[in-house]
Amino acid sequence: MKTYFFLAGDRRLFVKRSLQAGLAGVTGISLLSACSGGKGEDKDVSPPEDLMQEHGLLNRILLIYDHERHQVSSGQVANLPALNAAAGIIRRFVEDYHEKQEEDYLFPRFKKAGQLTDLVDTLLRQHQVGRRITEQLMQLTKGPALRTDETKQLVSLLTDFNTMYRPHEAREDTVLFPAFRKLVSKHEYDSLGEEFEDNEHKHFGGDGFEMMVGKVADIEKQLGIYDLAQFG
């Protein structure tokens, strides 16, 4: 299947395309930060918009995982430092921050309202599974080389992570996040947007998202998959 990429010059274009395409329902969608103005500079960003932009960063990690899985499956040696760095971003930004935002601010409100509770339970369980996979990946890729059995384990872990997270985030983008807007008042909705930005600044500084996008881009360059022109 052909891999599709979307170059989002601004967040409105990204949100429009992600809602139309289901974001992660295709093989992969990559968010590139605009040359001027990141999400931290837009004070009007909404909570779902904020989370969806972060899904764009997650998708770029999934593409890195896809690339390395394909390389290893083709008999080439895994780039362990690149994979370890990518898993570290998943741990620090996606699991310890992004998913924590969902678990602290979105999931409890759906539970309290008695809406989409089965979906929320599944999403939360998948967060927990993902964290276990990430821990195994970080341990597996911290050494200089892999044994044959460890190489097979690596391919399995990368496959399991991507197989779960693509439908996971697509369901959040197309079901959970749109429903959240209807669940809370406009005042609460706007206040949460500001709180999300404050939390990001507390965790990573004023340019946390842009900093993480830069780290992902560095890994892509190391692996030779940064240039969008090579994909069509």
CATH code of residue 123: 1.20.120
Domain-located, residue 1: no
Tell me, yes or no, whether 4 lies in a domain.
Answer: no
CB 166 within 8 A of CB 62: yes
104, burial (CB in 10 Å: exposed 0-12, middle 13-18, buried 19+): exposed
**Domain membership flag for residue 179:** yes
Q: Is residue 48 part of a domain?
A: yes
pLDDT at position 101 is 95
Residue 182: domain span: 11-231
- Say if 56 falls within a structural domain: yes
Q: Which residues of the chain have pLDDT under 50?
A: 1-38, 40-42
Determine, yes or no, domain membership for 5. Answer: no
Q: Tell the burial category of 200 from Cβ atoms under 10 Å away from its Cβ (0-12, 13-18, 19+).
A: buried
Residue 111 to residue 69: CA distance in whole angstroms: 37
Structure token pair of residue 16:
């429009």
Task: Give residue 193's pLDDT.
Answer: 86
pLDDT score recorded for residue 64: 98
176's tokens: 């959970």
Residue 183 has a pLDDT of: 95
pTM of the shown model: 0.80
Rg (CA), the chain: 17
Is position 74 within any domain? yes
> How many residues would you count in the chain?
232
Number of structural domains the chain divides into: 1
Query: What was the pLDDT predicted at 79?
Result: 98
Q: Which DSSP state fits 25?
A: G
pLDDT at 146: 96
Q: 54, 58, 95: which is closest to 177 by C-alpha?
A: 54
